[in-house]
Every structure is written in structure tokens, then in C-alpha cells.
Structure 1
């Protein structure tokens, strides 16, 4: 919700499905959110992260790099990560690309990732799992897409935390049984 005010060294743009070599409106909003930070961080490097799905003509990273070039971003500011197929892999492989590129041993890079607003929370957990210290920036999502996206994210968070949820449910059931047991 709050804009990231610190200097940014890298912006990871998380991929989203594509149907051609052009980015979809959903993916364009993620890229445009990253471009917003360019004004205050002219030397920022974009890590476009997303592989090629079986129904995609090119990798998501390829399409994103093409879009950034059309926005006058030079190739030396674009790092392509085109192996990932999940959000966790986006974070994991992007971290490797950043670690390989970063040369300042005195400090760690400031990393920001962009995704759609409904996806920031879960993406933060994957960044933590990948040991990537990054902040998230949420791009706007079309209102007609938001209800289904939020339901999908809710289900994904439940699946991601299924062991914790099962333990909590067992604890609640145990409590109910103990409280209702006649003594």
C-alpha cells in the first residue's frame, strides 16, 4: 500500500501468462509499476522473471524484456530470468541472477519486486523462503478480475499453510470435544 521510498538497485517483475510475444494487460501493469520507480532510480536494473509455459510461444521474460525495450530501457539494465515456472522459482532464480550481477561488497542490494496487488502477500512469503530480502509493490488489477484472483490467492495461501491449518483445526476440535464432554 505504501510506496517504497529507499534507493532501489533491482526491480524483479514477476511473470504472468502470455498468449503472444506481447505482454497482457495484467503483465503490463506489473511492468509499468516497476517503471514508476525508474524516475528516482535511473540506474535500476530490471530482472524480468518468468519461463515459457507449454501453451506460451515465448518465455514471459522474453515478452517483458521486449516491452521494456519499447519503453527505452537499455539492454544493460535488463536481466532475463527465463527458467522459473512458479512464484517461488521467480524469487529463487532472480536472487541467483542478482547475486551474480551485484558487485558492491560493502552493502547488500535494495530489491523491489512488482506483481499485482492481490499477489504481494503470498509473493513476500516466497521471497522469504528463497532468502531474498525484497519489498513488494502491487500493481493495480482490473475490477472484473479481482474477485477470482482473490479467491485463487486465498486457496493458495490455505494450501501453502495446510499443515498449520490442520493443526489449528485439530486443536479447535479437541477443545470443543473437551468442553462438551460431560463430567
Structure 2
């Protein structure tokens, strides 16, 4: 027999070789996938582990922001003995803990920065916005807020540098917000009126802004003084409607409900009163009341509030009217909560920073993303 016929059949061997090679390639591919996705898998596992704690921090922060809470309990249970001086301290620390837990969550950093600005901790607030700008590839909101907070606080070099960068990267958006701020800067220069007068408008509204009720749901002195001014104005303009605005509830009633009741008790016909009871703050007052003004075809709105509040109110109502596409003339009447009109007319850096904060909220930039506009 020829020697060649004694060689083993080679076909089976070739098949096995290719099979082994295929298996090796597949294993290598899967191993590569595993290594590549390992950080994401670990991150997701960490996310699932940390989610209950994160939710607790955020929910507690919302609670303290809107209605406060037991500060002493928070000191002992959440902050391990850290002394808190008020609700905003609690909100800041809660968002700080949330950011530490999930540092990649930019929305939580926005919440932290907004709280720091609101409580007057400008240095840390601006630094937090800077962190967002440096870490987020699209941080227009953080940049525009950083820019105009810097302007309000007198940091001219930071403002100009930031605005230059914004104009380069986001020219159209920057131009839009420059106009918004210019309009606000103009209207907050309005003269404060402490004396009611008769207006020539055929269809006008008197908008009385609410103020927090006490725990029993009764009007506090500041709200009573606003109502008194609104009442005097109504007696001079009886064809006008009165809009009472405020939806924060205490003692089972809202600000606007208590305001309407007070006005009726002081001889204002119920038919002359319109309630806006959905808003929780001045931004809500402006947006919701402007809608009522438009629906009723009012050509003028006289904003009645405290002197310390009027500039912010005018800026927000003016912006709400502009972005609605309606021209409604705004006037004002104030309850003087300062020793003199001269002191009331002087605006601090802190007041301007809060005006800008709420102005941008009214224009659509959320202070607390997914929580509050």
C-alpha cells in the first residue's frame, strides 16, 4: 500500500482549527466589550445603590426650599450636628451632598449654585457656575447667569470677559438676553409711587401681590398694607378690576383667598375681584397674572406691592408681557416699607442679583432644573 494512503484524513483537523480560532476571536471580542463597558456597569451599579440616598437629599431640599422643616431634626439626622441658621442653609447643604454623591449630575450643580446666589453666598455661587462651565460642553445657561450675576455685583472684568465669550460662541442667544436685561434695567428705574391717583385708562387692572400668611392662615401686616394701598387705588378707579395673586397656602387657605375676603369686607364688590391662586412666588405671579391680563383685554396694570419688592415685580411683569407679545402699560403703587422714599429708591447689589435671577427664570432659564423654573 502506498505510504500516502496511511496519512490521516486532514479535513476533520482543519475544521477543528477554524472552530477554535473562531471561539478565540469571539472570546476576545466579548472580553473587550466587558472591559470597555465595565466602568459603565460599575457606574450603573453605583447609581442603583446611591439612588435612594440621592432622592432623599433632593426631596428634603425641595421641602426646605418651599415650606421649611424641622431645622433641629435636620441638624441631628442629616447633617450630623452641623448648625443651620435657616432653610436656605439646609437647601444648600442637601444639594452639596447630592453633588458629592453624583458629581456628574450637572442639574444638581445648577440647583446648588442657584441656592448659593439666593442666600447671598456669591463667591461660592459663582464658583459653582464656573465648575459647570468648565465641565459641560453646552453651558450657555451657566455662562449667562455667571455673566450677569458678575455684572450685578460690580465684577466688571468678569462680566465683560464672560460676555465676550458668550457673544463668540452663542451670538443669537446672547443678543436675546442682552435685550431682556436692557428692558429690565430700564423699567426698574421707574419712579416709586406712594400716592394713588386716578388713571385715564378705560380698561385697567389693579394687581395686588400676595405675601406669606401666618401659620394660622391670617394676613400679616405687610399684606394688609398692600391691600390698603390697592383699596385706595380702586376707590379712585372703580371701573378697574382687582387681581389678587398668590397661591401659597397656610392654615388651609391661600394668600389670594384671604386677600379677596379682606377686600369684600372693605366694600369692594366681589364682581370686581379676580383671583390668581396658582403661583408660589413672584415669577409665578408675573406669568400667571399676565395671562389673565391678556385674556381680559386690559390695557394697563398697576402693580401694588411693597417698595422693597416693586423693582423685581416690575421687571418680571414687563418681561412676561413682552414675551407674550402683548403691550400692557405698567404703573406702580407701593406700600413704603422704608423710613423714606430716598432709601426705598436706592438699589443694592444683592437686590439686583435677585432681580436678574428671577428675570432669567421668567424668560425660561430654570433656577432649579426639573424642580422649579
Say if 1:33 and 1:154 are closer, same or farther in 2 by CA, change over 3 A: farther
Alpha-carbon distance in 2 for matches of 1:58, 1:160:
28
Residue 64 of structure 1 corresponds to: 259
Residue 121 of structure 1 corresponds to: 311
Is the 8 Å Cα contact of residues 206 and 304 (structure 2) preserved in structure 1? Answer: yes
Q: In the TM superposition, what are the counterparts of 1:18-167 in structure 2 within 5 Å? A: 18-19=213-214, 20-53=216-249, 55-102=250-297, 109-131=299-321, 133-141=329-337, 155-161=350-356
Give the number of equivalent residue pairs: 151
How much does 1:64 deviate? 0.3
Which is further off, 125-134 or 66-75? 125-134
Select the structure that is richer in helix. 2
TM-score normalised over the length of structure 1? 0.71
Which is further off, 129-138 or 59-68? 129-138
Alpha-carbon distance in 2 for matches of 1:16, 1:69:
18
Alpha-carbon distance in 2 for matches of 1:28, 1:158:
28
Gaps spanning 5+ residues in structure 2: where?
Answer: 1-191, 322-327, 358-373
Is the 8 Å Cα contact of residues 45 and 78 (structure 1) preserved in structure 2? Answer: yes
TM-score normalised over the length of structure 2? 0.37
Q: For residues 29-73 of structure 1, what are the alpha-carbon distances to aligned partners after superposition, in whole Å with 9 as ceiling and x for unaligned?
A: 1111111112321121110000024x5531110010010010111
Gaps spanning 5+ residues in structure 1: where?
Answer: 103-107, 163-183
- Aligned CA RMSD, in angstroms, stands at 2.7
Q: For residues 61-87 of structure 1, what are the alpha-carbon distances to aligned partners after superposition, in whole Å with 9 as ceiling and x for unaligned?
A: 001001001011111100000001111
Larger Rg: 2
Is the 8 Å Cα contact of residues 52 and 59 (structure 1) preserved in structure 2? Answer: yes
Q: Whose RCO is larger (CA < 8 A, sep 6+)?
A: 1
